[in-house]
Copies of this chain bind each other. A is one copy, B any other.
Amino acid sequence: MNKLFAFLVYVGVPLVLAGAFFRWSDMWMFFLCCASIIGLSGYIGRATESLAIVSGPRIGGLLNATFGNAVELIISIFTLKAGMVGIVLASLTGSVLGNLLLVLGLSFFAGGIKFKRQKFSVHDARYNSGLLIFAIIVAFVIPEIFSMTMNPQKTLYLSLGISTVLIALYLAGLFFKLVTHRGVFASSDQPEIEAEVPEWTKGKSIWILLLATSVVAFVSEQLVHTFEMLGDKFGWTELFIGVIIVAIVGNAAEHVSAITMAVKNKMDISVEIAVGSTLQIAMFVTPILVILSLFMSEPMVLVFTLPELVAMITAALLVINLSNDGESNWFEGLTLFAAYLIMGLGFFLL
């Protein structure tokens, strides 16, 4: 896998540079950018993990919790800068759906093919499901419904207030998991215990992290320019580009590692990657983008389209129900994947 990421980076990034200089066709640029970003995410993931091991579990957990969706955040910032608020909200939706249904589904399925029944921490599952309901069903639904009879100014205030609460609760949750209730979670969701040798030294990790992140920023800017073409050429809607395409590209590296862990029967890590990443998108990346959008041309309020919101709510309810017992099997994985198929079809046709 690492070789594939290296290939994508060493071949993809130079070609993106060349393409940006010689103004290649949008179609080519789209594929090159996607490939490069997938490769670069791989490097960012490995650098974060190495750093996390070196820094000990607390700072490590914090690192994972903030850099885990760095790629997603960077792409979104450039999309926001280009004024495509609709695509940003769609790609956030897509990350939530992709992580909850596609990644978790394929993890449950792939792991379940090999093992009859796989277990993971019930404490983690409950913590996650509480926050899924809080973030998606409370914090996303309230502005949707309340904004129906509000003027734009008040909707913006509500969005900012909710975003602040989301970030504060996300940080409090980290404090809970990493400090006050560490003992409860320790046995299950601390991958570092088993793989204690970092791949890279601290210095190398930081360099790679910085370098890969800035290259992602550059490539993302190129990628965003190709979105218009996608709409014209394939007849894809903003919604489909955001929900399916951007979301898969931005999360590809995570997808691979979640499924790999599931096949190794390390279900705790798979669930942490999939659901933990969802919570990070919903409670950290999304509210930060809402606040950042204040300094951009067009503010982004926390109001999704109805199909986006309904897809996230139903996905959350399904995942909570299937994961709350701390057990998984191949059929539960298939159920999640089937839900992803239905929603993907819906967004494609919309």
Please, which residue of chain B has its CB at the minimum distance from the CB of A311? Answer: B142
Interface of A is mostly: helix
Chain A residues at the B interface, C-beta cutoff of 8 Å? 116-117, 126-127, 129-131, 133-134, 137-139, 141-143, 145-146, 148-150, 154, 157-158, 161-162, 165, 168-169, 172-173, 176, 180-181, 184, 306-307, 310-311, 314-315, 317-318, 320-322, 325, 329-332, 334-335, 338-339, 341-343, 345-346, 349-350
**Are B176 and A330 neighbours in the complex by a CB distance under 8 Å?**
yes
**B residues in contact with A116, CB < 8 Å:** 180-181
Closest to A176 in B: B331
Whether the pair A314, B181 counts as a contact (CB closer than 8 A) is no
8 interchain pairs, CB-CB under 8 A: A117-B184, A126-B325, A129-B321, A133-B314, A134-B335, A138-B318, A146-B349, A150-B350
Using Cβ atoms and an 8 Å threshold, which residues of chain B touch A314? 133, 137-138, 141-142
User: How far apart are A340's CB and chain B's nearest CB, in angstroms?
Assistant: 10
Contact of A349 among B133, B134, B157, B168 (CB under 8 A): B157
Contacts A158-B349, A181-B331, A341-B165 known; A306 to B148 CB distance under 8 Å?
yes
Residue of B nearest to A127 (CB): B331
Q: Is B310 a contact partner of A346 (Cβ separation < 8 A)?
A: no
CB distance from A92 to the nearest CB of B (A): 18
The number of times this chain is found in the oligomer is 3
With A129-B321, A154-B349 already in contact, the answer to whether A168 and B137 are too (CB < 8 A) is: no
Chain B residues with Cβ under 8 A from A157's Cβ? 349
The answer to whether A133 touches B321, judged by C-beta atoms less than 8 angstroms apart, is yes
* Residues of chain B lying within 8 A (CB to CB) of residue A117: 184
From B307, B332, B342, contact of A138 by CB (8 A): B342
Q: How far is the CA of A116 from the CA of B314 in the complex (A)?
A: 33
Instruction: Give the residues in chain B near A181, CB-CB below 8 Å.
Output: 116, 329, 331
- Given A161-B345, A350-B150, CB of A145 within 8 Å of CB of B310: yes
In the complex, what residues of B have CB within 8 A of residue A346's CB? 142-143, 146, 158
A343 to chain B, nearest CB (A): 6
Complex Cα–Cα for A161 and B343 (A): 10
- Chain B residues lying within 8 Å of A133, measured Cβ to Cβ, are 314, 317-318, 321
Contact (Cβ within 8 A) B130 A321: yes
Question: From residue A70, how far is it (CB to closest CB) to chain B in Å?
Answer: 25
Residues of the B chain whose Cβ atoms lie less than 8 Å from the Cβ of A145: 306-307, 310
